[in-house]
Amino acid sequence: MTTATHGAPAPAPGATGGYLSVRDLRVRFATEDGTVRAVDGLSFDLERGRTLGIVGESGSGKSVTNLTVLGLHDPRTTTVEGQILLDGQELTGAGERALERLRGNKMAMIFQDPLTALSPYYTVGRQIAEPYRKHTGASKRAARQRAIEMLAKVGIPHARRRVDDYPHQFSGGMRQRAMIAMALICDPDLLIADEPTTALDVTVQAQILDLLGDLQQEFGSAIILITHDLGVVANAADDLLVMYAGRAVERGTVREVLSAPQHPYTWGLLDSMPTLAGAVDTPLTPIPGAPPSLLAPPSGCPFHPRCGYTAVVGGDRCATERPALPAGRGAACHLGAERGGAVRRGGGGAAGAGPAGATRTDNGPAPADGPAPANGPAPADDPAGGGPANKEPGGGPSQGGDR
Ligand SMILES: Nc1ncnc2c1ncn2[C@@H]1O[C@H](COP(=O)(O)OP(=O)(O)OP(=O)(O)O)[C@@H](O)[C@H]1O
Ligand code: SF4
Ligand SMILES: [Mg+2]
Protein backbone atom coordinates (compact mmCIF):
# COMPACT_ATOMS: atom_id res chain seq x y z
CA MET A 1 0.00 0.00 0.00
CA THR A 2 0.98 3.61 -0.11
CA THR A 3 0.76 6.06 2.71
CA ALA A 4 -1.77 7.92 0.66
CA THR A 5 -4.79 6.21 2.13
CA HIS A 6 -4.30 5.92 5.81
CA GLY A 7 -5.56 9.25 7.12
CA ALA A 8 -8.27 9.12 9.73
CA PRO A 9 -11.32 11.29 9.24
CA ALA A 10 -10.60 14.97 9.73
CA PRO A 11 -11.77 16.45 13.00
CA ALA A 12 -15.19 18.01 12.84
CA PRO A 13 -15.01 21.66 11.86
CA GLY A 14 -15.10 23.78 14.94
CA ALA A 15 -13.85 20.98 17.16
CA THR A 16 -11.23 22.07 19.63
CA GLY A 17 -8.23 20.30 21.01
CA GLY A 18 -6.67 17.12 19.73
CA TYR A 19 -4.82 14.10 21.00
CA LEU A 20 -1.82 16.44 21.02
CA SER A 21 -2.69 20.06 21.64
CA VAL A 22 0.01 22.75 21.62
CA ARG A 23 -0.98 26.26 22.65
CA ASP A 24 1.11 29.42 22.39
CA LEU A 25 4.35 27.50 22.84
CA ARG A 26 7.44 29.62 23.43
CA VAL A 27 10.89 28.10 23.75
CA ARG A 28 13.94 30.25 24.54
CA PHE A 29 17.56 29.29 24.98
CA ALA A 30 19.94 31.31 27.09
CA THR A 31 23.26 31.51 25.22
CA GLU A 32 26.45 33.53 25.58
CA ASP A 33 25.27 35.76 22.73
CA GLY A 34 21.83 36.36 24.18
CA THR A 35 18.41 34.74 24.17
CA VAL A 36 17.49 32.57 21.18
CA ARG A 37 13.72 32.68 20.57
CA ALA A 38 13.55 29.31 18.86
CA VAL A 39 9.77 28.91 19.10
CA ASP A 40 7.65 32.01 19.44
CA GLY A 41 3.93 31.50 20.03
CA LEU A 42 3.11 28.27 18.21
CA SER A 43 -0.26 26.51 18.38
CA PHE A 44 -1.49 23.35 16.67
CA ASP A 45 -3.57 20.23 17.27
CA LEU A 46 -3.18 16.69 16.06
CA GLU A 47 -5.67 13.83 16.22
CA ARG A 48 -4.84 10.13 16.43
CA GLY A 49 -4.67 8.43 13.06
CA ARG A 50 -3.60 11.63 11.28
CA THR A 51 -0.23 12.88 10.09
CA LEU A 52 0.82 16.50 10.45
CA GLY A 53 3.66 17.58 8.16
CA ILE A 54 5.87 20.41 9.43
CA VAL A 55 7.99 22.20 6.83
CA GLY A 56 10.25 25.23 6.90
CA GLU A 57 13.83 26.21 6.16
CA SER A 58 16.69 25.18 8.38
CA GLY A 59 16.52 26.87 11.77
CA SER A 60 12.77 27.56 11.67
CA GLY A 61 12.19 25.69 14.93
CA LYS A 62 10.85 22.35 13.70
CA SER A 63 13.11 20.13 15.79
CA VAL A 64 13.04 22.37 18.85
CA THR A 65 9.22 22.27 18.85
CA ASN A 66 9.16 18.53 18.82
CA LEU A 67 12.02 18.00 21.24
CA THR A 68 10.05 20.25 23.58
CA VAL A 69 6.97 18.05 23.24
CA LEU A 70 9.14 15.14 24.35
CA GLY A 71 10.68 17.21 27.15
CA LEU A 72 14.21 16.72 25.86
CA HIS A 73 15.71 20.14 26.53
CA ASP A 74 18.15 21.06 29.22
CA PRO A 75 16.03 22.86 31.85
CA ARG A 76 19.07 24.87 32.98
CA THR A 77 19.33 26.77 29.70
CA THR A 78 15.83 26.45 28.28
CA THR A 79 12.67 28.37 29.11
CA VAL A 80 9.43 26.77 27.97
CA GLU A 81 6.12 28.62 28.17
CA GLY A 82 2.67 27.73 26.89
CA GLN A 83 0.73 24.51 26.99
CA ILE A 84 1.39 21.05 25.61
CA LEU A 85 -1.44 18.61 26.26
CA LEU A 86 -1.05 14.94 25.36
CA ASP A 87 -4.32 13.08 25.73
CA GLY A 88 -5.36 15.78 28.18
CA GLN A 89 -2.18 15.53 30.26
CA GLU A 90 -0.12 18.73 30.65
CA LEU A 91 3.52 18.16 29.64
CA THR A 92 5.03 21.59 30.20
CA GLY A 93 6.28 21.59 33.73
CA ALA A 94 5.79 17.82 34.10
CA GLY A 95 8.64 16.25 36.05
CA GLU A 96 11.37 14.22 34.37
CA ARG A 97 10.05 10.95 35.81
CA ALA A 98 6.57 11.55 34.42
CA LEU A 99 8.02 12.45 31.01
CA GLU A 100 10.24 9.40 31.03
CA ARG A 101 7.22 7.19 31.61
CA LEU A 102 5.53 8.77 28.58
CA ARG A 103 8.56 8.67 26.29
CA GLY A 104 8.78 5.46 24.35
CA ASN A 105 5.45 4.39 25.75
CA LYS A 106 2.91 7.06 24.73
CA MET A 107 5.19 9.18 22.56
CA ALA A 108 8.34 8.39 20.63
CA MET A 109 10.65 10.07 18.17
CA ILE A 110 12.57 8.96 15.12
CA PHE A 111 15.58 11.27 15.26
CA GLN A 112 17.07 13.24 12.38
CA ASP A 113 20.27 11.19 12.39
CA PRO A 114 20.03 7.48 13.22
CA LEU A 115 23.81 7.10 13.52
CA THR A 116 24.01 9.53 16.40
CA ALA A 117 20.84 8.21 18.00
CA LEU A 118 22.01 4.59 18.00
CA SER A 119 24.90 3.70 20.27
CA PRO A 120 27.76 2.00 18.42
CA TYR A 121 28.58 -0.10 21.49
CA TYR A 122 25.36 -2.11 21.77
CA THR A 123 23.67 -4.44 19.35
CA VAL A 124 20.71 -3.13 17.42
CA GLY A 125 18.48 -5.75 19.06
CA ARG A 126 19.45 -4.74 22.56
CA GLN A 127 18.78 -1.08 21.83
CA ILE A 128 15.36 -1.88 20.41
CA ALA A 129 14.46 -4.23 23.27
CA GLU A 130 15.55 -1.93 26.10
CA PRO A 131 12.60 0.52 26.05
CA TYR A 132 10.20 -2.40 25.81
CA ARG A 133 11.69 -4.02 28.92
CA LYS A 134 11.63 -0.72 30.72
CA HIS A 135 8.02 0.10 29.97
CA THR A 136 6.46 -3.36 30.16
CA GLY A 137 8.71 -5.14 32.65
CA ALA A 138 9.11 -7.97 30.12
CA SER A 139 11.89 -10.52 30.59
CA LYS A 140 15.09 -10.23 28.54
CA ARG A 141 14.03 -13.19 26.46
CA ALA A 142 10.54 -11.82 25.74
CA ALA A 143 11.95 -8.39 24.89
CA ARG A 144 14.47 -9.91 22.49
CA GLN A 145 11.68 -11.87 20.82
CA ARG A 146 9.65 -8.67 20.50
CA ALA A 147 12.68 -6.87 19.00
CA ILE A 148 13.01 -9.61 16.39
CA GLU A 149 9.33 -9.28 15.54
CA MET A 150 9.65 -5.51 15.21
CA LEU A 151 12.76 -5.79 13.00
CA ALA A 152 10.85 -8.20 10.76
CA LYS A 153 7.86 -5.86 10.73
CA VAL A 154 9.98 -2.94 9.53
CA GLY A 155 11.35 -5.10 6.74
CA ILE A 156 14.78 -6.18 7.98
CA PRO A 157 15.53 -9.50 6.27
CA HIS A 158 16.76 -12.38 8.47
CA ALA A 159 15.71 -10.45 11.56
CA ARG A 160 16.50 -13.34 13.90
CA ARG A 161 20.13 -13.19 12.81
CA ARG A 162 20.47 -9.43 12.26
CA VAL A 163 19.16 -8.66 15.75
CA ASP A 164 22.69 -9.28 17.06
CA ASP A 165 24.38 -6.92 14.60
CA TYR A 166 25.88 -3.61 15.67
CA PRO A 167 24.63 -0.38 14.02
CA HIS A 168 27.69 -0.10 11.75
CA GLN A 169 26.77 -3.47 10.23
CA PHE A 170 23.46 -2.00 9.04
CA SER A 171 23.08 0.12 5.90
CA GLY A 172 21.66 3.66 6.22
CA GLY A 173 18.18 2.48 5.25
CA MET A 174 18.36 -0.44 7.69
CA ARG A 175 19.45 1.87 10.52
CA GLN A 176 16.50 4.11 9.77
CA ARG A 177 14.22 1.07 9.93
CA ALA A 178 15.84 0.02 13.21
CA MET A 179 15.11 3.50 14.59
CA ILE A 180 11.50 3.11 13.53
CA ALA A 181 11.35 -0.32 15.19
CA MET A 182 12.77 1.21 18.37
CA ALA A 183 10.27 4.06 18.27
CA LEU A 184 7.30 1.78 17.66
CA ILE A 185 8.07 -1.17 19.90
CA CYS A 186 5.78 0.13 22.67
CA ASP A 187 3.02 1.15 20.22
CA PRO A 188 3.29 4.89 20.94
CA ASP A 189 0.16 6.94 20.37
CA LEU A 190 2.26 9.88 19.17
CA LEU A 191 5.19 9.35 16.81
CA ILE A 192 7.45 12.24 15.84
CA ALA A 193 9.57 11.56 12.76
CA ASP A 194 12.26 14.23 12.28
CA GLU A 195 13.50 14.08 8.69
CA PRO A 196 13.18 10.29 8.69
CA THR A 197 14.09 9.91 5.05
CA THR A 198 16.55 12.73 4.32
CA ALA A 199 19.66 10.60 3.93
CA LEU A 200 17.97 7.85 1.96
CA ASP A 201 17.63 7.26 -1.74
CA VAL A 202 14.14 7.69 -3.18
CA THR A 203 13.32 3.98 -3.29
CA VAL A 204 14.14 3.42 0.37
CA GLN A 205 12.46 6.73 1.19
CA ALA A 206 9.22 5.52 -0.40
CA GLN A 207 9.49 2.21 1.51
CA ILE A 208 9.99 4.01 4.83
CA LEU A 209 7.01 6.29 4.21
CA ASP A 210 4.86 3.30 3.27
CA LEU A 211 6.01 1.60 6.43
CA LEU A 212 5.02 4.56 8.59
CA GLY A 213 1.63 4.59 6.89
CA ASP A 214 1.11 0.87 7.46
CA LEU A 215 2.15 1.11 11.08
CA GLN A 216 -0.12 4.11 11.60
CA GLN A 217 -3.01 2.11 10.25
CA GLU A 218 -2.20 -0.77 12.57
CA PHE A 219 -1.64 1.27 15.73
CA GLY A 220 -3.74 4.39 14.99
CA SER A 221 -0.84 6.63 15.98
CA ALA A 222 -0.78 10.38 15.53
CA ILE A 223 2.33 11.24 13.48
CA ILE A 224 4.30 14.46 13.15
CA LEU A 225 6.46 14.35 10.05
CA ILE A 226 9.18 16.99 9.90
CA THR A 227 10.76 17.42 6.51
CA HIS A 228 12.31 19.85 4.04
CA ASP A 229 10.68 17.94 1.23
CA LEU A 230 7.22 19.05 0.14
CA GLY A 231 7.03 15.96 -2.10
CA VAL A 232 7.27 13.79 1.02
CA VAL A 233 4.57 15.85 2.70
CA ALA A 234 2.30 15.61 -0.35
CA ASN A 235 2.46 11.84 -0.19
CA ALA A 236 2.50 11.13 3.49
CA ALA A 237 0.71 13.85 5.48
CA ASP A 238 -2.89 14.90 6.03
CA ASP A 239 -2.29 18.37 7.39
CA LEU A 240 0.52 20.86 6.94
CA LEU A 241 2.11 23.47 9.15
CA VAL A 242 4.59 25.87 7.53
CA MET A 243 7.06 27.32 10.04
CA TYR A 244 9.22 30.42 9.75
CA ALA A 245 11.40 31.94 12.47
CA GLY A 246 9.82 29.85 15.21
CA ARG A 247 6.25 30.64 14.20
CA ALA A 248 3.52 28.97 12.18
CA VAL A 249 2.94 31.11 9.10
CA GLU A 250 0.45 28.90 7.26
CA ARG A 251 -1.59 25.80 7.91
CA GLY A 252 -4.39 23.72 6.48
CA THR A 253 -4.81 20.32 4.95
CA VAL A 254 -1.96 19.32 2.64
CA ARG A 255 -4.29 19.68 -0.31
CA GLU A 256 -5.38 23.17 0.72
CA VAL A 257 -1.88 24.47 1.29
CA LEU A 258 -0.30 22.93 -1.80
CA SER A 259 -3.13 23.75 -4.19
CA ALA A 260 -3.82 27.27 -2.93
CA PRO A 261 -0.96 28.50 -0.76
CA GLN A 262 -1.69 31.83 0.90
CA HIS A 263 1.61 32.97 2.44
CA PRO A 264 4.45 34.55 0.38
CA TYR A 265 6.90 32.31 2.25
CA THR A 266 4.98 29.19 1.20
CA TRP A 267 4.96 30.55 -2.38
CA GLY A 268 8.71 30.89 -2.09
CA LEU A 269 9.14 27.33 -0.84
CA LEU A 270 7.02 26.00 -3.70
CA ASP A 271 8.70 28.14 -6.34
CA SER A 272 12.12 26.98 -5.24
CA MET A 273 11.25 23.33 -5.77
CA PRO A 274 11.33 21.33 -8.98
CA THR A 275 8.07 19.64 -9.94
CA LEU A 276 7.47 16.57 -12.05
CA ALA A 277 4.65 18.42 -13.78
CA GLY A 278 6.82 21.39 -14.71
CA ALA A 279 8.76 21.92 -17.92
CA VAL A 280 12.41 20.95 -17.64
CA ASP A 281 13.56 24.47 -18.48
CA THR A 282 11.39 26.10 -15.82
CA PRO A 283 13.76 28.20 -13.74
CA LEU A 284 13.61 27.62 -10.02
CA THR A 285 13.40 30.74 -7.90
CA PRO A 286 15.19 30.57 -4.57
CA ILE A 287 13.84 32.68 -1.73
CA PRO A 288 16.18 35.68 -1.54
CA GLY A 289 18.19 36.28 1.62
CA ALA A 290 18.52 33.93 4.55
CA PRO A 291 16.40 33.00 7.56
CA PRO A 292 16.78 35.58 10.34
CA SER A 293 18.83 35.21 13.48
CA LEU A 294 16.56 34.15 16.28
CA LEU A 295 18.70 36.16 18.69
CA ALA A 296 17.05 39.29 17.28
CA PRO A 297 14.13 38.30 15.06
CA PRO A 298 12.76 41.03 12.77
CA SER A 299 9.93 43.16 14.09
CA GLY A 300 6.42 42.86 12.70
CA CYS A 301 6.18 40.03 10.21
CA PRO A 302 9.45 38.09 10.57
CA PHE A 303 9.46 37.45 6.82
CA HIS A 304 9.33 41.14 5.85
CA PRO A 305 13.07 41.59 5.08
CA ARG A 306 12.76 38.87 2.42
CA CYS A 307 9.25 39.52 1.17
CA GLY A 308 8.45 41.20 -2.14
CA TYR A 309 4.89 42.13 -1.15
CA THR A 310 5.34 44.67 1.61
CA ALA A 311 4.48 47.52 -0.78
CA VAL A 312 1.20 45.82 -1.66
CA VAL A 313 0.28 45.84 2.01
CA GLY A 314 1.36 49.46 2.19
CA GLY A 315 3.03 51.75 4.71
CA ASP A 316 5.29 50.12 7.24
CA ARG A 317 2.65 47.66 8.46
CA CYS A 318 4.69 44.55 7.56
CA ALA A 319 7.71 45.85 9.48
CA THR A 320 5.79 46.92 12.56
CA GLU A 321 2.70 44.76 13.02
CA ARG A 322 2.85 41.05 13.62
CA PRO A 323 0.24 39.32 11.45
CA ALA A 324 -1.96 36.82 13.30
CA LEU A 325 -2.54 33.29 12.08
CA PRO A 326 -6.28 32.68 12.01
CA ALA A 327 -7.74 29.57 13.59
CA GLY A 328 -8.13 26.65 11.16
CA ARG A 329 -7.07 27.13 7.54
CA GLY A 330 -5.12 30.32 6.92
CA ALA A 331 -1.87 32.26 6.76
CA ALA A 332 -0.24 34.88 8.96
CA CYS A 333 0.02 37.63 6.36
CA HIS A 334 -1.41 41.14 6.12
CA LEU A 335 -2.31 40.52 2.47
CA GLY A 336 -5.17 38.26 3.54
CA ALA A 337 -6.27 35.19 1.57
CA GLU A 338 -8.25 37.05 -1.08
CA ARG A 339 -5.75 39.79 -1.92
CA GLY A 340 -2.89 37.31 -1.65
CA GLY A 341 -4.58 34.97 -4.12
CA ALA A 342 -5.17 37.85 -6.57
CA VAL A 343 -1.57 39.07 -6.23
CA ARG A 344 -0.16 35.61 -6.82
CA ARG A 345 -2.44 34.90 -9.77
CA GLY A 346 -1.35 38.24 -11.19
CA GLY A 347 2.24 37.00 -11.43
CA GLY A 348 5.37 37.19 -9.34
CA GLY A 349 4.78 34.02 -7.38
CA ALA A 350 8.24 33.95 -5.90
CA ALA A 351 8.46 35.42 -2.44
CA GLY A 352 11.09 37.94 -3.30
CA ALA A 353 10.01 38.86 -6.80
CA GLY A 354 7.07 41.02 -5.80
CA PRO A 355 4.03 41.66 -7.93
CA ALA A 356 6.00 43.17 -10.78
CA GLY A 357 8.57 40.39 -10.78
CA ALA A 358 9.09 37.61 -13.25
CA THR A 359 6.16 35.30 -13.72
CA ARG A 360 6.43 31.55 -14.04
CA THR A 361 3.77 31.15 -16.68
CA ASP A 362 4.85 27.70 -17.79
CA ASN A 363 4.57 26.31 -14.33
CA GLY A 364 2.47 28.82 -12.55
CA PRO A 365 0.01 28.42 -9.79
CA ALA A 366 -3.21 26.54 -10.20
CA PRO A 367 -6.44 28.39 -9.60
CA ALA A 368 -7.21 28.59 -5.93
CA ASP A 369 -9.78 25.83 -6.22
CA GLY A 370 -7.84 23.80 -8.74
CA PRO A 371 -6.65 20.32 -7.98
CA ALA A 372 -2.96 20.70 -8.75
CA PRO A 373 -0.44 21.93 -6.24
CA ALA A 374 0.51 25.45 -7.22
CA ASN A 375 3.92 24.72 -8.62
CA GLY A 376 4.23 22.19 -5.86
CA PRO A 377 5.49 18.68 -5.86
CA ALA A 378 3.64 16.01 -7.73
CA PRO A 379 2.92 13.06 -5.51
CA ALA A 380 5.00 10.02 -6.36
CA ASP A 381 1.99 8.00 -7.39
CA ASP A 382 0.63 10.82 -9.51
CA PRO A 383 3.37 11.89 -11.87
CA ALA A 384 0.97 14.09 -13.80
CA GLY A 385 0.80 16.36 -10.83
CA GLY A 386 -2.80 15.73 -9.94
CA GLY A 387 -2.57 17.00 -6.39
CA PRO A 388 -1.81 15.27 -3.15
CA ALA A 389 -3.10 11.78 -3.58
CA ASN A 390 -3.98 11.03 -0.02
CA LYS A 391 -6.16 12.60 2.50
CA GLU A 392 -9.51 14.17 2.56
CA PRO A 393 -9.73 17.49 0.82
CA GLY A 394 -11.75 19.25 3.47
CA GLY A 395 -11.83 19.46 7.20
CA GLY A 396 -8.45 20.75 8.19
CA PRO A 397 -7.02 20.51 11.61
CA SER A 398 -8.91 22.32 14.28
CA GLN A 399 -6.29 24.71 15.44
CA GLY A 400 -6.15 27.71 17.63
CA GLY A 401 -4.74 30.92 16.29
CA ASP A 402 -1.18 31.95 16.95
CA ARG A 403 -0.03 35.28 18.01
N1 LIG B 1 20.24 24.08 22.58
C2 LIG B 1 20.18 25.17 21.85
N3 LIG B 1 20.77 26.32 22.26
C4 LIG B 1 20.69 27.45 21.53
N5 LIG B 1 20.06 27.54 20.34
C6 LIG B 1 19.46 26.44 19.87
C7 LIG B 1 19.50 25.19 20.59
N8 LIG B 1 18.81 24.26 19.88
C9 LIG B 1 18.38 24.88 18.76
N10 LIG B 1 18.77 26.19 18.76
C11 LIG B 1 18.45 27.19 17.74
O12 LIG B 1 17.04 27.21 17.59
C13 LIG B 1 16.70 27.46 16.22
C14 LIG B 1 15.75 26.39 15.73
O15 LIG B 1 16.49 25.18 15.62
P16 LIG B 1 15.83 23.83 15.09
O17 LIG B 1 16.84 22.75 15.36
O18 LIG B 1 14.49 23.64 15.67
O19 LIG B 1 15.71 24.10 13.53
P20 LIG B 1 15.07 23.15 12.44
O21 LIG B 1 13.88 23.87 11.87
O22 LIG B 1 14.84 21.80 12.98
O23 LIG B 1 16.23 23.16 11.34
P24 LIG B 1 16.80 21.94 10.43
O25 LIG B 1 15.87 21.88 9.27
O26 LIG B 1 18.16 22.43 10.04
O27 LIG B 1 16.84 20.69 11.24
C28 LIG B 1 18.01 27.54 15.47
O29 LIG B 1 18.35 28.90 15.34
C30 LIG B 1 18.98 26.82 16.35
O31 LIG B 1 20.29 27.33 16.18
S1 SF4 C 1 3.18 40.71 2.78
FE2 SF4 C 1 3.86 41.50 4.75
S3 SF4 C 1 2.79 40.23 6.25
FE4 SF4 C 1 2.66 39.15 4.30
S5 SF4 C 1 4.44 37.76 4.34
FE6 SF4 C 1 5.08 39.65 3.28
S7 SF4 C 1 6.02 40.84 4.91
FE8 SF4 C 1 4.77 39.28 5.91
MG1 LIG D 1 15.77 19.94 12.68
Q: What is 17-228's CATH topology? A: Rossmann fold (3.40.50)
Whether 61 lines ligand 1, by a CB cut-off of 6 Å, is yes
Give the residue, by CA position, lying nearest to ligand 2 atom 7. Answer: 304
Q: Looking at the CA of 303, which ligand is closest?
A: 2
* 307 within 8 A of 357, measured Cβ to Cβ: no
N-term to C-term CA, the chain: 40
Select from 242, 267, 303, 344 the residue to mutate for testing ligand 2; criterion: most ligand atoms less than 8 Å from CB. 303
C-alpha–C-alpha distance, residues 259 and 314, integer Å:
27
Burial code (b: 16+ CB inside 10 Å, e: under 16) for 23-62 equals bbbbbbbeeeeeebbbbbbbbbbbbbbbbbbbbbbebbbb
Best of 32, 35, 63 to mutate for ligand 1, by most ligand atoms within 8 A of CB?
63
Report how far ligand 3's centroid is from the alpha carbon of 332 (Å): 22
Q: How many angstroms is it from 358 CA to the middle of ligand 1?
A: 33
Of 389, 8, 403, whose CA–CA distance to 206 is shortest?
389
CB distance 310 to ligand 2 below 6 Å: yes
With a 6 Å cutoff on the Cβ, whether 268 touches ligand 2 is no
Q: How far apart are CA 293 and CA 60, in angstroms?
A: 10
The domain ranges of the chain are 17-228, 260-359
Question: What is the per-residue pLDDT for 277?
Answer: 59
Which candidate, 45, 309, 327, places its Cα nearest to that of 190? 45
Cβ atoms < 10 Å from Cβ of 135: 18
CA 281 to centroid of chain Cα atoms: 30
Residue of the CA atom closest to atom 27 of ligand 1 = 58
CA–centroid distance, 29 to ligand 1, in Å, is 10
303 in ligand 2 pocket by Cβ < 6 Å?
Answer: yes
For residue 39, give the ligand 1 atom closest to its CA. 14
> Which ligand gives the minimal distance to the CA of 267?
2
Atom of ligand 2 nearest to the CA of 323: 3
Residue 66 Cβ < 6 Å to ligand 1: no
Phi and psi at 99, nearest 5°, equal -65, -40
CA 334 / ligand 2 centre spacing (Å): 6
Give yes or no for a contact between 280 and 301, defined as CB atoms under 8 angstroms apart: no
Which atom of ligand 1 is the closest one to the Cα of 243? 21
Residue 368 is predicted with a pLDDT of 35
Residue 278 has a pLDDT of 57
pLDDT in tens, the chain (403 residues): 333 333 444 443 334 468 999 999 999 999 999 999 999 999 999 999 999 999 999 999 999 999 999 999 888 999 999 999 999 999 998 888 889 888 878 899 888 776 778 899 999 999 999 989 988 999 999 999 999 999 998 889 999 999 999 999 998 888 988 998 898 888 889 999 998 877 677 777 787 888 888 878 888 889 999 998 888 899 899 999 999 999 999 999 999 999 999 999 999 999 887 665 556 666 778 899 999 999 999 999 999 999 999 999 999 999 999 999 998 999 999 998 788 878 887 765 567 766 644 333 333 333 333 334 444 444 333 333 333 334 333 334 444 444 4
Find out whether the beta carbon of 264 lies less than 6 Å from any atom of ligand 2.
yes
Å from CA of 358 to ligand 3 middle: 32
Neighbour count for residue 132 (Cβ, 10 Å): 22
For ligand 2, atom 4, the nearest C-alpha belongs to 333
Which pLDDT score, from 0 to 100, does residue 357 have? 40
